[in-house]
Structure 1
């Protein structure tokens, strides 16, 4: 029963991670943030692999998933520090999110709840083929929306890591207890019993 509960819980956690990652991937695509798009894609593949490994009793899939979650937590911790501009991190460094292919911007910057976008015409601050805008009235700034999204990923990853380690240990224990010659060790190998042969006698009436 414990193994079933662990497997079911891990599948549920992976399902929540998959939904959260797909939602995040959509908004990162809308904001042209190529580094998060690549990281999200790898994370989605890792979660799908974990679901497959949980259903098919593949412990090595879960171990790889647990290792990836460590890297995923580190990446999301960096995202949190980046948007909060901790230390020397600055949102003006476009190459960190877009590989220096375009100006960095979060989709939530202009489309956050309650945000009012006003274009600034005839501004000399914008590069070619770009424009300057002012955003006001947001109920929640885009930085905090991105931070909350990353914090949710960290929260789910911690539970996923714990359950992945637990379920993979159960799978490995089951593999160690199995005897490939005669089934399970508790039964052992029993040679086939010899059957006695009866001599048939004709019947006379």
Structure 2
């Protein structure tokens, strides 16, 4: 079934993204990915069990999910005064950044310990060089894939809802009581004859 395949792809894409957001301690995306996985499962259940309300919830959430991913793209491309160096994605709880910053394709990660006097021995910073693709573009690619899959899922969900609505309108609730049989008089009449009373025996 096409709807099951679309939902499965959405769930796997969200799960893959959830793993890397966990590795980077990106709490805002982690929360969003978790809700996405739950709602996709709910939409899948609604499709299989013919529950239009669940699919409506899925379509509403999909619109919000697309909006969230557009915001992430703007965040990492620093559109409209946004800065990818802020702690917005971690709710300002920590200073963690995207996991792809240090572990992207071709990235060479080095921990550098400064030798200046007066600095604690355990203080260090990370130097990353040689990345084939910068981390912000990898995050943008992830969000773009989510938007594409979500739009496909949204269109299919609207199609499924329309099918359910058509089936409800044409459903025969009383076994044969459609428009034709309701308006037409019955063709065969059953004549009722009075029953003679049975005499009582003394």
Q: Map 1:83-102 onto structure 2 (within 5 A).
A: 83-94=76-87, 96-102=88-94
Runs of 4+ aligned structure 1 residues displaced above 3 Å come to 186-190
Give the stretch that moved more between structures: 114-123 or 64-73: 114-123
Q: Pick from 133, 140, 149: which aligns with 1:156?
A: 149
Equivalent residue number for residue 104 of structure 2: 112
- The 1:164/1:106 distance shift into structure 2, 3 A limit, reads same
- The 1:115/1:19 distance shift into structure 2, 3 A limit, reads same
Equivalent residue number for residue 38 of structure 1: 31
TM-fit CA distance, 1:170: 0.4
**Structure-2 separation of matches of 1:31 and 1:148:** 17
Equivalent residue number for residue 201 of structure 1: none
**Structure-2 separation of matches of 1:93 and 1:36:** 14
8 A Cα contact 2:24 2:98, kept in partner: yes
What do the CA deviations read for 1:40-97 (whole angstroms, capped 9, x no partner)? 0000011001111111111111111011010000000000011111121001220x21
Give the stretch that moved more between structures: 160-169 or 96-105: 96-105
Q: TM-score, length-normalised on structure 1?
A: 0.82
Equivalent residue number for residue 13 of structure 1: 6
What do the CA deviations read for 1:130-186 (whole angstroms, capped 9, x no partner)? 741111101111111110000000000111111100111101110121132235626
**Structure-2 separation of matches of 1:122 and 1:53:** 57
8 A Cα contact 1:177 1:184, kept in partner: no
Equivalent residue number for residue 199 of structure 1: none
**Looking at CA atoms only, which structure, 1 or 2, has the larger radius of gyration?**
2
- How many residues in Structure 1 have an aligned counterpart in Structure 2? 186
Q: What is the DSSP-based 3-state SS (H/G/I as helix, E as strand, rest coil) of the residue aligned with 1:179?
A: coil
- The 1:183/1:135 distance shift into structure 2, 3 A limit, reads farther
- The 1:117/1:175 distance shift into structure 2, 3 A limit, reads same
**Structure 1: stretches of 5+ with no match in the other structure:** 1-7, 195-205
Equivalent residue number for residue 5 of structure 1: none
* RMSD between superposed Cα atoms in Å: 2.7
**Structure-2 separation of matches of 1:42 and 1:130:** 37
8 A Cα contact 2:114 2:123, kept in partner: no
Equivalent residue number for residue 173 of structure 1: 166
